[in-house]
Amino acid sequence: MIKVIKYVWLDILQNRIVLAYTVFLLVISATLFGMETNPGKGLMSLLNIVLMVVPLISLIFTTIHFYNSYEFIELLLAQPINRSKLLLSEFSGVASSLVTAFLVGVGGPVLYYAPGATGAALLAAGVALTLVFVALAFLASVCTRDKAKGIGLALLIWFYFGLLYDGLVLTILFTFSDYPLEKAMLVLTTLNPVDLARIFIMLQMDVSALMGFTGALYQEFFGSAAGSLYALGVMLIWIVVPIWAAVRVFCKKDL
Amino acid sequence: MKVCWLLLLPLLSSAKTIVVGPAESIRTVRQALFVAADYDTILVRRGLYRERNLLVEKPLVIRGENFPIIDGQMKGELFTVRASNVTIQGFDLRNVGMTSTIDWAAVKVLEARQVRVIGNRIRNAYFGVYFSASDHCLVSRNDIKGNPHEEQTTGNGIHAWKCDSIRVENNRISGHRDGIYFEFVTHSTVQRNRSFGNIRYGLHFMFSHENSYFYNTFQHNGAGVAVMYTRKVIMRHNIFENNWGSAAYGMLLKDISDSKIEDNIFRRNTIGIHMEGTSRIMTQRNLFIDNGWGMRIQASCNDNTFTRNTFQSNTFDVATNGQTVLNTFDRNYWDKYEGYDLNRDGTGDVPFHPVSLYSMIIEKIPYGVVLLHSFMVTLLDRAEKVMPSLTPEALVDAKPLMKPR
């Protein structure tokens, strides 16, 4: 398994995309912090990058990488290697390289310009989102043999979690504005890893606003130990379930 | 000349000092108050005096040496002053009891003038210093710390009712219901006090016209600062900090008019300033930083001017609850402003609308706050900036500053 991960790493390093991704994140974060005199505002702009760009890159890169190494995977499967082990090593290789890229690219500037609880929350959320979307991308890629279809599916996933879902929640919000929906909103947000990550960061960043009105509910919930555990658990489910489903599909798949 | 001296002589000879202490011939403050003549000084030596209901009915200077303790044992009021020209200084006043019928206080002043309460330590009192129908009094350098229970069973730190020309200076007040409470108080000055950790308001006044508040700090109070039904208030150089909660405000202004709010700092409050039914208020050179809402200006406010304020890292700078805007915004600095300054005159060439669409939505659907900062909401806010539909178009800063002051 370690050996396979090593080959995945070597392959990723060779095509330099992850390196470019690291540099891209580094430049963007450094610029955002450099432009703003107030590091809080830099973090705020970075929030949108983390919530939109990180899932997108994770999805697309993973999918393309998976299809490009299809032959390599086929070759390895000719050897006496367990299929689930192979896929898990692929996942670990891709995920760890993307997480490293993220930590270097965003973590560096954040630690330099805005060290603190908000920055830490941002980094934790970014790492979690990377893992979640790499897992989802693996699920999307094992589902279809066609590269175009696979990438299309990955894009759809991104579109759904990044945009559509919030639109749907907003619609629900408007339609049922007369009803007490606080608790329902709490549940709805945890059904989307992007929203969960956003709220997790917001609890550090916009504490003052969240203390007002119903925001206090979220503060109370996520601020408590049980709430944090719950958020962590939901994130873990979002990582484990897709990768487990992907392994199942891959094991039964006719390559 | 000699005649003058002769005239002054009886005055000089009459003022004597009565010493009270565990080792002295007079051992209780009550006894000293009984034997003292007008304008005498009572000097109380260090010690523990379990006394209460000390009635001061003559002009006296009552001074503690090394903070003698007067302990009310939770059974009643300590000093009740009914005479003018009284000074109470340097005591450690503690354990004033609580009743629901009478507002017992560590020092209560009733219908007197020129009373000074200076440099006392007041601990575990129901009310700290209490003025009623008095004028020209001074409360200075007291350290007042309460032991808060519920709102109904906790009194105010410094309480004034129907007074005139009171000065409240350099006090530290915490753990009471309201730190400083004024009702029907006029021409008074409150300055350089620190009011924090009170369970309701740090400062609370009603019907108290023409008062001034300078260099005070209000922190971590249950609901911040609330001022109501008053005109001609001047507030300068105060700091309002860390007032968090669903009904907490840096400052709540309700029915205030003809006032000035200048050079104050509002930091990390849920709402910096909340205005309701206020008119003709000059709000300038204030700093709003890290608040949830910088200002909430209800549509019932009119003719207020907001100029040269600085808004930085607030979640929302300004929120309102209607389309009507009868206030003026001019030359403020907004960190969310994205315009440019081609003619380099220091003000942006494009007007700035400080109210965001989403703040209007949250006003109607409070739990919509969960979607804050999501991409969808950012998109909606952008669209609204280009084509305003929900946000009041008249709420605009035509000349936003490019740089914070």
Per-residue pLDDT reduced to its tens digit, B285-301: 999 998 889 999 999 99
Q: How far apart are CA B374 and CA A192, in angstroms?
A: 12
> Residue B1 above 70 pLDDT?
no
Instruction: State the best of B240, B242, B268, B367 to mutate against chain A, taking most chain A CBs within 10 Å.
Output: B367
Whole-number Cα distances in Å, A22 to A15, A57, A205 = 13, 11, 25
Domain contains B7: no
Question: Are A231 and A200 within 8 A, CB to CB?
Answer: yes
**AA letter at A158:** W
Indicate the Cα dihedral angle B257, B258, B264, B270, nearest 10°. 20
> Residue B7 above 60 pLDDT?
no
Kindly state whether residues B185 and B130 are assigned to the same domain. Answer: yes
Kindly state whether residues B292 and B373 are assigned to the same domain. Answer: yes
> Residue A207 above 80 pLDDT?
no
Query: What are phi and psi for residue B181, nearest 5 degrees?
Result: -125, 120
Kindly state whether residues B401 and B347 are assigned to the same domain. Answer: yes
- What's the confidence (pLDDT) of residue A36? 76
* Cα A4 to the center of its chain, rounded Å: 23
Last residue of a domain, one of B151, B184, B218: B218
Q: Which of A41, A48, A215 sits opposite B369 (nearest CB)?
A: A215
Cα diameter, chain A: 62
Residue A177 DSSP class: T
Instruction: State the best of B361, B369, B375 to mutate against chain A, taking most chain A CBs within 10 Å.
Output: B369
Q: Quickly count: other Cβ atoms within 10 Å of residue B363's Cβ.
A: 18
Judging contacts by C-beta atoms under 8 Å, the chain A residues touching residue B371 are 166, 169-170, 173, 195
Q: What percent of chain A has pLDDT over 70?
A: 95
Judging contacts by C-beta atoms under 8 Å, the chain A residues touching residue B372 are 202, 206, 209
Number of domains chain B is built from: 2
Nearest CA-CA distance, residue A168 and chain B, Å:
10
Judged by DSSP in three states, A255 sits in coil
What's chain B look like in SS3? CHHHHHHHHHHHHHCCEEEECCCCCECCHHHHHHHCCCCCEEEECCCEECCCCEEECCCCEEEECCCCEEECCCCCCCEEECCCCCEEECCEEECCCCCCCCCCEEEEEECCECCEEECCEEECCCEEEEEECCECCEEECCEEECCCCCCCCCCCCEEEECCECCEEECCEEECCCCCEEEECCECCEEECCEEECCCCCCEEEECCCCCEEECCEEECCCCEEEEEEEECCEEECCEEECCCCCCCEEEEEEEEEEEEEECCEEECCCEEEEEECCEEEEEECCEEECCCEEEEECCCCEEEEEECCEEECCCEEEECCCCCCEEEEECCEECCCCCCCCCCCCECCCCECCCCHHHHHHHHCHHHHHHCCCHHHHHHHHHHHHCCCCCCCCCCECCCECCCC
State the first-to-last Cα distance of chain A, in angstroms, to the nearest integer: 20
Kindly state whether residues B132 and B241 are assigned to the same domain. Answer: no
Contact A211/B248, CB-based, under 8 Å? yes
Contact B370/A189, CB-based, under 8 Å? yes
Number of domains chain A is built from: 1
Q: What percent of chain A has pLDDT over 90?
A: 43
Kindly state whether residues B255 and B173 are assigned to the same domain. Answer: no
**AA letter at B146:** G
Last residue of a domain, one of B180, B202, B218: B218
- What's the confidence (pLDDT) of residue B261? 96
User: Strand B194-196 and strand B172-174: pairing?
Assistant: parallel
Kindly state whether residues B34 and B183 are assigned to the same domain. Answer: yes
Q: Chain A to chain B, count of Cβ pairs less than 8 Å apart?
A: 108
Kindly state whether residues B228 and B190 are assigned to the same domain. Answer: no
Indicate the Cα dihedral angle B128, B134, B140, B144, nearest 10°. 10
- What's the confidence (pLDDT) of residue B279? 95
Domain contains B3: no
ipTM of the complex, rounded to two decimals: 0.79
Domain contains B9: no
Q: How far apart are CA A193 and CA A237, in angstroms?
A: 10
Please state the rounded mean pLDDT for residues A80-89. Answer: 90
Last residue of a domain, one of B202, B218, B234: B218
Kindly state whether residues B346 and B381 are assigned to the same domain. Answer: yes
> Residue A186 above 90 pLDDT?
no
Judging by beta carbons within 10 Å of its beta carbon (0-12, 13-18, 19+), is residue B49 exposed, middle or buried?
Answer: buried
Contact A206/B377, CB-based, under 8 Å? no
B272, closest residue in chain A (CA to CA): A208
Question: Are A186 and A170 within 8 A, CB to CB?
Answer: no
Query: What are phi and psi for residue A145, nearest 5 degrees?
Result: -85, -25
**What is the span of the domain harbouring residue A200?**
2-252
> Residue A38 above 80 pLDDT?
no
Question: In sequence order, which ranges of chain A are alpha helices (DSSP H)?
Answer: 2-15, 17-35, 39-68, 70-78, 83-102, 108-113, 117-143, 147-159, 165-175, 182-190, 193-205, 207-210, 215-223, 225-252
Domain contains B171: yes
Please state the rounded mean pLDDT for residues A238-248. Answer: 94
Judging contacts by C-beta atoms under 8 Å, the chain A residues touching residue B268 are 207-208
Domain contains B1: no
Domain contains B128: yes
Per-residue pLDDT reduced to its tens digit, B115-138: 999 999 999 999 999 999 999 999
Question: Are A48 and A28 within 8 A, CB to CB?
Answer: no
> Residue A181 above 60 pLDDT?
yes
Q: Looking at residue B202, which CATH number applies to its domain?
A: 2.160.20.10
Q: How far apart are CA B179 and CA B142, in angstroms?
A: 12
Q: How far apart are CA A239 and CA A249, in angstroms?
A: 16
Taking any CB pair shorter than 8 Å as contact, residues of chain A touching chain B are 38, 40-41, 44, 47-48, 51-52, 162-163, 166-167, 169-170, 173-174, 177, 181-182, 185-186, 189, 194-195, 198-199, 202, 206-218
Q: Quickly count: other Cβ atoms within 10 Å of residue B102's Cβ.
A: 12
Residue A153 has which token pair?
A: 């599916």
- What's the confidence (pLDDT) of residue B221? 92
Kindly state whether residues B174 and B72 are assigned to the same domain. Answer: yes
- What's the confidence (pLDDT) of residue B144? 96
Q: How far apart are CA A222 and CA A224, in angstroms?
A: 5
B15 vs B103, which has greater pLDDT? B103
Kindly state whether residues B61 and B119 are assigned to the same domain. Answer: yes
Packing angle between helix A117-143 and helix A225-252, nearest 10 degrees? 20
- What's the confidence (pLDDT) of residue B11? 52
Nearest CA-CA distance, residue A104 and chain B, Å:
24
Domain contains B2: no
**What is the span of the domain harbouring residue B208?**
14-218
Residue B160 has which token pair?
A: 């004034």
Domain contains B264: yes
Kindly state whether residues B281 and B201 are assigned to the same domain. Answer: no
